[in-house]
Amino acid sequence: MGDVVKALLPWEDPAGFLGGLPAGIDAQYYAGGERPALDSVEFYVPGYMGSSEVIEVVGEMPALKVIQTQTAGYENLLPHLREGVTLCNARGVHDASTAELAVGLILASYRRLPRAVKNQERGEWPSEYQELDDSLADRTVLILGYGSIGEALERRLDGFECEIVRVARRARDGVHAIAELPELLPRADVVVLLTPATAETRGMVDGKFLAQLKDGALLVNVARGVVVDTDALLAELKTERIRAAVDVTDPEPLPAGHPLWSAPNILINPHRGGASTAFSPRVARLVRAQLERYATGQPLINVVAGPPR
């Protein structure tokens, strides 16, 4: 590491965005398009939800030592990670935004807010409804993939008078192991998916998984689209036995005419989990702290692949 660290950042005014660059950092801008000189770049922050071009450019940085994502997910970068490069994710940055959206999707589905929007567009005030809306009170919410976002979700659900069941890959105090799902799923009124996209979780929510849900259960996916078998979900939705509210889909973007768009009992949000005003200040604090750590030789946080630094 030289006296000055070359960083490649996705903001045109990185110093302004970060509230000043740490000492020893020389930053340049890249978010796609014309590329600056890349030979001496040691620290790279790809653009949020960056294109394939923004990701593949890591292969043109021979001096690269660190990639710091702005997302919690990082599976799209792993194929481009060469030996000796450290990959750090944005664990914690999206906790507030994603947890808020998960609560919003539950409430919107339970209180049938999409129906209210359609009525408003038509200028209709129905004289009565045939059924009561569902309440989150007295329900059981199973959080699958209980990490920092799961903790943030539970804090926000506190006060809604619902029971929380926590599930993670391994059991720990107060958290069930994923192997216990066959016993836990039939109890759940709401299942919130927060798992990362890995070889183990891809297609995990399949026909067998969905069949274990009780009639009327709500599946909320704020994780990754590939965690859910789309064909299996469609088959269940068409029977109107369960409901779904999703921020992510497989495929994504969901193409026009895809049967998910017209399936009954589903609310689709176009992958906006992290896109809130809570994002920018949190990612700025993380990136600035990581740059300062790297420039001063302190250990980096959120290392998910490659050597620790």
The answer to whether 131 is a known catalytic residue is: no
Q: Which CATH number is 43's domain given?
A: 3.40.50.720
**Domain match, 113 and 260 both:** yes
**Domain match, 251 and 102 both:** yes
**Domain match, 89 and 227 both:** no
Per the residue annotation, which of 139, 243, 271, 288 is the catalytic one? 271
**Domain match, 140 and 262 both:** yes
Q: What is the pLDDT of residue 93?
A: 95
Q: What is the pLDDT of residue 174?
A: 97
- What residue numbers bound the domain in which 287 lies? 5-93+277-305
Omega before 253 within 30 of 0, i.e. cis: yes
**Domain match, 210 and 299 both:** no
* pLDDT tens-digit map of 59-83: 999 999 999 999 988 988 999 999 9
Edge-first strand listing for the sheet containing 66-68: 25-29, 5-9, 41-44, 66-68, 86-88, 303-305
Q: What is the pLDDT of residue 69?
A: 96
Q: Are 234 and 257 in contact (CB under 8 A)?
A: no
The answer to whether 224 is a known catalytic residue is: yes
Please, what sign has the CA dihedral across residues 269, 271, 274, 280? negative
Q: What is the pLDDT of residue 49?
A: 78
* pLDDT tens-digit map of 136-178: 999 999 999 999 999 999 999 999 999 999 999 999 999 999 9
**Domain match, 68 and 108 both:** no
* pLDDT tens-digit map of 212-226: 999 999 999 999 999
**Domain match, 178 and 36 both:** no
Mind listing the pLDDT tens digit of every residue in the chain (309 residues)? 457 899 999 999 999 999 999 999 999 999 999 999 999 999 999 998 777 899 999 999 999 999 999 998 898 899 999 999 999 999 999 999 999 999 999 999 999 999 999 999 999 998 776 788 999 999 999 999 999 999 999 999 999 999 999 999 999 999 999 999 999 999 999 999 999 888 999 999 999 999 999 999 999 999 999 999 999 999 999 999 999 999 999 999 999 999 999 999 999 999 998 889 999 999 999 999 999 999 999 999 999 999 999
Q: Are 165 and 187 in contact (CB under 8 A)?
A: yes
Per the residue annotation, which of 56, 180, 252, 272 is the catalytic one? 252
How many Å apart are CA 256 and CA 268, to the nearest integer?
A: 13
For residue 239, give every residue at least 6 positions away whose Cβ sits within 8 Å of its Cβ, in sequence order, or none. none
The pTM (predicted TM-score) of the whole model is 0.90
How many Å apart are CA 30 and CA 274, to the nearest integer?
A: 21
**Domain match, 151 and 9 both:** no
- Number of independent structural domains in the chain: 2
Per the residue annotation, which of 91, 176, 224, 288 is the catalytic one? 224
Q: What is the pLDDT of residue 274?
A: 86
How many Å apart are CA 302 and CA 290, to the nearest integer?
A: 9
**Domain match, 250 and 290 both:** no
Q: What is the pLDDT of residue 295?
A: 96
**Domain match, 171 and 253 both:** yes
The answer to whether 176 is a known catalytic residue is: no
**Domain match, 120 and 142 both:** yes
**Domain match, 121 and 241 both:** yes
